[in-house]
Chains A and B, each alone.
Chain A
Amino acid sequence: MSAQSSFGDVLVLGGGISGIQAALDLATSGFKVFLVEKDPTIGGKMAQLDKTFPTNDCSMCIESPKFIECDRHPNIEILTHTEVAAVEGRAGDFEVTLIRKPRYVREDVCTGCTTCAEYCPLRVPDPFNQELSANKAVHIYFSQAVPLVPYIDERCLYLRDGKCSICEGVCKNRAIDLHQTAKKQVIKVGAIVLAPGYAPFDPRARGDYGYGTIANVVTSLDFERLLCATGPHEGEILRPSDHKHPHKIAWIHCVGSRQVLPGGHSYCSSVCCSYVQKQVILAKDHDAGTEAVIFHNDIRSYGKDFERFYERAARLPGVRFIRSYVEIGREIPETKNVTVRYATDAEGVKEEEFDLVVLGVGLSPPANVKRLAEQFGIELNAHGFCLTDPANPIQTTRPGVFASGAFQGPMDIPESVVSASGASALAGALLKARRGKLSKKRGYPAERDVTQEEARVGVFACHCGANIGRVVNVPSLVDYAKTLEHVAHAEEGLFICSTDAAEQIASTIREKGLNRVVVAACTPRTHEPLFRDTLREAGINQYFFDMANIREHCSWVHSKQKEEATEKAKDIVRMSVARSIHLEPLKESELPVNKAALVVGGGVAGMNAALGLADQGFEVHLVEKAKDLGGMARRIRTTLEGLDVQAYLQDLIRRVYQHPLVHVHHEATITDVSGYVGSFVTTVRAEGQVRTIRHGAAILATGAGEHRPTEYLYGADERVWTQLELEERLAAGDERLACARGVAMIQCVGCRQEGRDYCARVCCSQAVKNALSLKAQAPDRDVYVLYRDMRTYGFKEDYYRKAADQGVRFVRWTPAAKPEVEAATDEEGRPVLRVAVPDPVLGQRLAIDADLLILSAAAAPAAGSPEAARLFKVPVNPDGFFQEAHVKLRPVDFAADGVFMCGSGHYPKHLAEAVSQAYGAAGRAATLLSQDTVTASGSVCTVAESACIACGACVAACTYGAIHWQKTPAGDKAEVNAVLCKGDGLCCAKCPTGAIVLRHYTDEEVLNQIDAALFDSPSGAGEPAHAKQEVGP
């Protein structure tokens, strides 16, 4: 990011997770990006979160490697503390004027040593910690900040009154510049990605629930900071009034959301239900005795694995979910406890006392959104979020300007990441002629040859905030590591993955002449690339690295047994050190990338993914099993928002057929897939012909089907239809509809139950949409929706409200008393379907006589998904949906390189969401296809010729055909083709002489690790200390 040129390809506005992802995808696929952020660091709201639902992954831990990736990326220039002043020009040629706000610290000379902060006499409320604690007026925003440079708060004594300036004096590098002024910078770009995110709803404005006046009422974001190890009390949950541990906590849902009152938002904020459940689980984790009460109005667990997450929270002892609107009673003067008044169907109005009340605040449009819209010449929707194309939520009203993340409307992290990759695909299409023109490759220092040196191991043990540190005694682990043979250096860190820690490791490697590095922290799955990169920066081969996982393998699973966990951590580190001593420097090879892609499934997602890639200049083969393109969308008339789906589909299909780079294969079956990232070979049988397609990437878009109900008389009575059938008949003008006086709908048919334990996400909106259509057809008609929780998330909430306003009756049922259906005759003697359900509000049994019964049948994985998964060797989750590489941050990637997913095969979704994900997959695939080569691991097999006895066991074991015979004076010997070897190591386990060796996982390395594992097992009673532990999930 050293380039100071004002020419770039794309401006990404907003350095939150969405902006970061967009910048990384664009930069990796060959574009020069300016990443502009108003705060002093990138990171956004995600950096403030403690954990993320539904996996409870540590938020900072998964996000911060991306900061470093941005920082180190040669094609990303990060401009923090910067705002936009003006935008001129048009798509392909924008001129953007930026204002670089004064930081009062010179980024180019500051070393991040924080001496200034040490000497600063003034403490100001810390914005990163939601002002729950104080920080110095000059400080680094948070310890993983990028850039790792302090800024000076405007409340600084000098800036306010011209007094002080101690920091100026103590800075050895003269980096403090208290006279800095805002600077203008003009940049030229071809496209703009807007990712300004959202603002948390501020309950202070209306004094909601006493926030701002009652000390022990906090917002959910405040509570995130309280939970967090880097928070105001280092992860201790202490309430504001007396810094005591709260034992009874209330959460109030929908603060600022789902209300039509002035100052509130009518929409649902989409994420609060799940984040509240997360906070409940975490609060119980901190203190199992915590009593938690959650006041809600529908639990909206509509996302992938959210339903199970909800069940997990609800099953915890001492946790009550209560469906009720609430108000704050009073603050008790002596205890500062807060009372909450609520009402239940069974018990009427009650008042209950809590130690702490957490407000589940919603998501508001970003601050100054109107000004932003004016500057960029885009329109906003009625809620103040970005107005987007009804069929493409990334497309704003202005060509060349794309919306990414929560600026589109409330959404969770994976959706923000998906739309970011999608924005990268759309910007990439606009600028395809410029790809690679401004981009640069990254350079590294020359590698030091350490093969003749004694092993000098450096051990870096991470606290991971409190993730490890709260369980494992890290200082004693470090002391222990120092006693191990060959360990030349050991130290601990709060977050080893932060930018400064990574730089620190690099300089320690150089200063102490380390030639092996062991990081005792989390999983290599997410963090190994970062640390390997650090080794390269330090000038030693990246394979001299081993990761000791003391988090997933230790602190997370043994959180209740601190001493034993510390012993186990020592074992793990000792094993890593033992292995590291035998590590060897390895070279990586480059494999060519075939620039074509294969898209499996010709529905809306598949077609958009194909166009998303083809528009960026990549050839695409689109494989569809049916005769026609369109998939599930062929059965849908309109979207809830009113998009004419059939007209849209016609246009989409036309664009697919007309695109010169898209080749459609109809009535196609894939019979075989071989190869690997960059060079797949797929055999397709289509319309009687068998073709072999070579491609570098694949996108699976096999979609979902509708579950066929087996209950509520479906199939037995022809007046019982599914929602899709209703929709088709509405479109066809079925006359049974014309004369239907009463229509009943039952939600959650075939889901949220044993065996299909997920929410199918789309059915509530589908029911509202069809109910509105039925009402529009005949306003006097009775329409009932029998629901469990109405999950009309986001802006869809408005339509739910509209339906209620138009007289659609919503009746709630619970699994304990499911609706019952029978054929009957009404008072007039007409044959009807009688639907009986206990009405919890009225407390009596309600019998509805309907002419038609509509079942909201769950969306289930399509028949083609398991087959596609099998062929491409990718996993599906227990529900049969594709399993992404990382739920939060790699939502369209499979763990297998080069294979991506989009659409309802990943999880049921609405049309616009499928389109967004399709572009997301296209954006991710383009980061691969835009490369000429991919790097193949150096961890491949090799043969020690003299030890080979030509028994052939290895040749038989290798299905890659990577081993062949080589003639030598001593007879035939096995030889490995490194390009074909994938490093699975089957051959090694078969070789009798140990002649064939899997590099990086050699017998020597593994046996040493085993020996080290069992090293202090006392003879005669060899049970390791940790064998008595219980493993928690």
Chain B
Amino acid sequence: MCTGRVDLAFVLRAFQKGATGVIIAGCWLGECHYVTEGNYDALNMMHLCKKLLEHAGVRPERLRLEWVGASEGIRFAEVMNDFAATLRELGPLGAAEGAPRGEVASRLAALARLVPYIKLAKKEKLAQRFKSPEEYLQLYAADEVAALIRDVVSYYVEPELCQACLICLRRCPVDAIAGGKNLIHVVDQDKCIKCGTCFDVCPSRFGAVREITGAPVPPPLPEEARAVVRKAKGARRE
């Protein structure tokens, strides 16, 4: 396993659960034990994560990435002691943020739900590799991250248009769409990872999946109202 394996979701989960700080330590750049140089990916992810933490009102110093080789026990101890000193100064999560921990945690939980969306939206950038660590510093701008969160999309199946054809339901990678034969399909917004697969696969003649940005998603149809009654010329709710 490589530092590049460290998922955005791992870091956010740790903070969400109340970690005072998170440190990722691994091989020096250019000394990768695999051939994949995944530590550059870790660096990339760390910078994005810091911006996300900032967006959620969490002090970015709480996250640190350090290069410590296998033969550098003394350096490891120094790094840990230094980080511990920083964290002691910041205090527990929430203290330096000026917000109750519970509130910070719920902001982080909301952010954590967006990880799949973020990964997908920033796919190209996250795959970017630079030669020097400095080049990563400017990769993600604060307003860019703010826009990313602001413009987050949601997918909603229009009950009027849905033909209960099961296509989106079957193709959803996370089984977030409820419904069935003759049952109008409904996206579970808590489960949805905003990959847009449903939007892409809904036959264009139905066009039942709507992409919603910057507006609230209508509440899901009550379960008892989901049955579809088919008439000669199509389907309509009773």
- Listed in ascending order, the chain A residues whose CB lies under 8 Å from chain B are 557, 674, 870, 873, 875, 877-878, 883, 895-896, 939, 946-949, 951, 953, 956-960, 970, 982-986, 988-995, 998, 1001, 1003, 1006-1007, 1010-1011, 1013-1015, 1017, 1019-1024, 1027-1033
1/0 per position for B1-38, CB-CB distance to A under 8 A? 11011111110011001111000000000111111111
Q: Identify which of A883, A989, A994 gathers the most chain B CB atoms within 10 Å of its CB.
A: A989
Min CB distance, A493 to chain B, in Å? 27
Inter-chain contact B70/A989, CB cutoff 8 Å: no
Contacts of B14 in A (CB 8 A): 1010, 1013-1014
Residues from chain A with Cβ under 8 Å of B120 in the complex: 951, 953, 992
Whether B36 contacts A960 by the Cβ 8 Å rule is: yes
Nearest chain B residue, comparing its CB with the CB of A983:
B1
Which of B74, B80, B120 has the most A CB atoms < 10 Å from its CB? B120
The answer to whether A956 touches B119 (Cβ under 8 A) is no
In whole angstroms, what is the CA distance A951 to B71 when docked? Answer: 39
Measured between C-beta atoms, what is the minimum distance from A983 to chain B in Å? Answer: 7
Q: Which of B5, B9, B45 contacts A1007 (CB 8 A)?
A: B9
B17–A949 CB distance below 8 A: no
- Answer yes or no: B87 CB below 8 A from chain A CBs: yes
Cα of A949 to Cα of B198 in the assembled complex, Å: 11
CB pair A984–B38 under 8 Å, yes or no, is yes
Instruction: Report yes or no: B173 in contact with A993, Cβ–Cβ below 8 A.
Output: yes
Residues of B within 8 A of A983 (CB): 1
When distances are taken between beta carbons in the complex, the residues of chain A under 8 Å from B8 are 989
Instruction: Judge whether A1022 and B101 touch: CB under 8 Å.
Output: yes
Interchain residue pairs with CB less than 8 A apart (23): A674-B35, A873-B33, A895-B33, A896-B33, A953-B127, A956-B127, A960-B35, A970-B171, A984-B1, A985-B4, A986-B4, A986-B36, A992-B115, A992-B193, A993-B193, A1003-B7, A1011-B17, A1020-B102, A1022-B20, A1024-B20, A1027-B88, A1030-B81, A1030-B84
Distance in Å: Cβ of B128 to nearest Cβ of chain A: 10
Q: How far is the CA of A990 from the CA of B10 in the complex (A)?
A: 13
Q: Nearest-CB distance from A110 to chain B (Å)?
A: 42
| In the A-B complex, the 9 residue pairs with the closest CB atoms | A985-B5, A1022-B18, A1014-B17, A984-B2, A992-B116, A992-B119, A947-B173, A986-B4, A1017-B18
B156 within 8 A of A: no
Residues of B within 8 A of A991 (CB): 119
Report the nearest A residue to B119, measured CB to CB: A992
The interface residues of chain B lying within 8 Å CB-to-CB of A1027 are 20, 84, 87-88
Complex contact B71–A1019 (CB within 8 A): no
Q: Contact: A953 with B123, CB < 8 Å? A: yes
B153 contacts A by Cβ under 8 Å? no
B101:A1019 contact, CB within 8 angstroms: yes
Taking the closest CB of chain A, its distance from the CB of B99, in whole angstroms, is: 11
Closest to B79 in A: A1031
For B177, list chain A residues within 8 Å (CB): none
Interface pair B119/A1003, CB less than 8 Å apart: no
B38: chain A residues within 8 A (beta carbon): 984-986
Given A992-B116, A1007-B9, A1007-B13, output 10 extra A-B contacts at Cβ < 8 Å: A873-B32, A939-B1, A949-B195, A957-B36, A960-B35, A986-B4, A993-B195, A1014-B19, A1020-B102, A1023-B20
Q: A953-B127, A991-B119, A1032-B77 are in contact. Are A984 and B4 (CB under 8 A)?
A: yes
Neighbouring B residues of A995 by C-beta, 8 Å: 173
Query: How far is the CB of A1024 from the nearest CB of chain B, in Å?
Result: 7
Q: How far is the CA of A958 from the CA of B174 in the complex (A)?
A: 24
The docked-state distance in angstroms from the alpha carbon of A4 to that of B106 is 68
A1001 proximity list for chain B (CB < 8 A):
1, 5
B92 within 8 A of A: yes
Closest residue of chain A to B75 (Cβ to Cβ) is A1033
B216 at the interface (CB under 8 A from A): no
CA distance A502 to B33 in the complex (A): 31
Task: Give Cα A957 to B7, complex, Å.
Answer: 14
Given known pairs A1007-B10, A1019-B101, A1031-B80, the reply for A984 and B116 (CB within 8 Å) is no
Inter-chain residue pair count (beta carbon < 8 A): 166
Contacts of B31 in A (CB 8 A): 873, 875
Q: Is B214 an interface residue (CB 8 A)?
A: no
- Which residues from A are CB-within-8-Å of B5? 984-986, 988-989, 998, 1001
Complex: chain A residue closest to B93, CB-CB: A1022
- B73 closest partner in A (C-beta): A1033
A998 touches B1 (CB 8 A): yes
**Closest B-chain residue to A870, C-beta based?**
B30
In contact, B70 and A875 (Cβ under 8 angstroms) = yes
- Tell me which residues across on chain A come within 8 A of B101, comparing CB atoms: 1019-1022
Q: Report the minimum CB–CB distance from A311 to chain B (whole Å).
A: 13
The interface residues of chain B lying within 8 Å CB-to-CB of A989 are 4-8, 41, 45
With A1011-B13, A1020-B100 as given contacts, are A1031 and B77 in contact (CB-CB < 8 Å)?
Answer: yes
Within B166-208, the residues touching A (CB, 8 Å) are 170-171, 173-174, 193, 195, 197
Asked if B159 lies at the interface with its beta carbon under 8 angstroms from chain A, I say: no
Complex contacts, B73 vs chain A, CB 8 Å: 1033
Bound-state CA distance A1007–B10 (Å) is 6
The verdict on B133 contacting chain A, using a C-beta distance below 8 Å, is: no
Q: Is B126 an interface residue (CB 8 A)?
A: yes
CA distance A849 to B152 in the complex (A): 84
- A958–B74 touching, CB < 8 Å: no
- Bound-state CA distance A970–B168 (Å) is 11
A947–B174 contact, CB under 8 A?
yes
CA–CA, A912 and B3, complex, Å: 42
Nearest B residue to A952 via CB reads B123
Question: Complex Cα distance A982/B33, Å?
Answer: 11
Q: Do A877 and B9 contact each other (CB < 8 Å), given the known contacts A984-B1, A1027-B88? A: no
**Which residues from A are CB-within-8-Å of B174?**
947, 993
Please, which residues of chain B bring their CB within 8 A of the CB of A1006?
7, 10
Q: A957-B127, A984-B4, A1032-B77 are in contact. Are A992 and B19 (CB under 8 A)?
A: no
Residue interface mask B120-151, A partner, CB < 8 A = 1: 10010011000000000000000000000000
Residues of B within 8 A of A953 (CB): 119-120, 123, 126-127
Q: Are A1033 and B77 in contact (CB under 8 A)?
A: yes
- Rounded to whole angstroms, the CA-CA distance of A993 and B91 in the bound complex is 34
User: Using Cβ atoms and an 8 Å threshold, which residues of chain A touch B123?
Assistant: 951, 953, 990, 992
A896, A960, A1010: most-surrounded residue (chain B CB, <10 A): A1010
The reply to whether A984 and B10 form a contact with Cβ atoms under 8 Å apart is no
Whether A988 pairs with B36 at a CB distance below 8 angstroms is no
Q: Which residues of B contact A949 (CB under 8 A)?
A: 173, 195, 197
Which residues of the partner chain B approach A1021 to less than 8 Å between Cβ atoms?
92, 101
- Determine the residue in chain A with the shortest Cβ distance to B94: A1020
- List of A residues within 8 angstroms of B19 by Cβ: 1013-1014, 1017, 1022
**Which listed residue (B2, B92, B116) contacts A1023, Cβ 8 A?**
B92
**Given A1014-B14, A1022-B92, A1031-B80, are A992 and B4 also a contact pair (CB < 8 Å)?**
no
Chain B nearest Cβ from A870, distance in angstroms: 7
B97 CB to closest chain A CB, in angstroms?
A: 12
| Highest count of chain A CB atoms <10 Å: which of B9, B35, B45, B171 | B35
Min C-beta distance of B187 to chain A, whole Å: 15
A1017 to B93, CA, bound (A): 11
* Alpha-carbon separation in the docked complex, A986 to B42 (Å): 9
Q: Judge if B117 is at the interface, Cβ distance under 8 Å.
A: yes
- Contacting pair A1028 B88 (CB below 8 A): yes
Rounded to whole Å, the gap between the CB of B196 and the closest CB of chain A is 8
- Please, which residues of chain B bring their CB within 8 A of the CB of A895? 33, 70
A1013 to B16, CA, bound (A): 12
Q: Is the CB of A990 within 8 A of B71?
A: no
Contact B1 A985 (CB under 8 A): yes
Interface pair B173/A946, CB less than 8 Å apart: yes
The answer to whether A1020 and B92 touch across the interface, beta carbons within 8 angstroms, is yes
Contacting pair B33 A883 (CB below 8 A): no
Given contacts A985-B5, A989-B5, A1027-B87, contact A1019 B102 (CB under 8 A): yes
Pair A986/B9 contact, Cβ less than 8 Å: no
Give Cα distance in the complex from A946 to B94, angstroms. Answer: 39
Do A990 and B126 form a contact, CB below 8 Å, given A959-B36, A960-B36?
yes
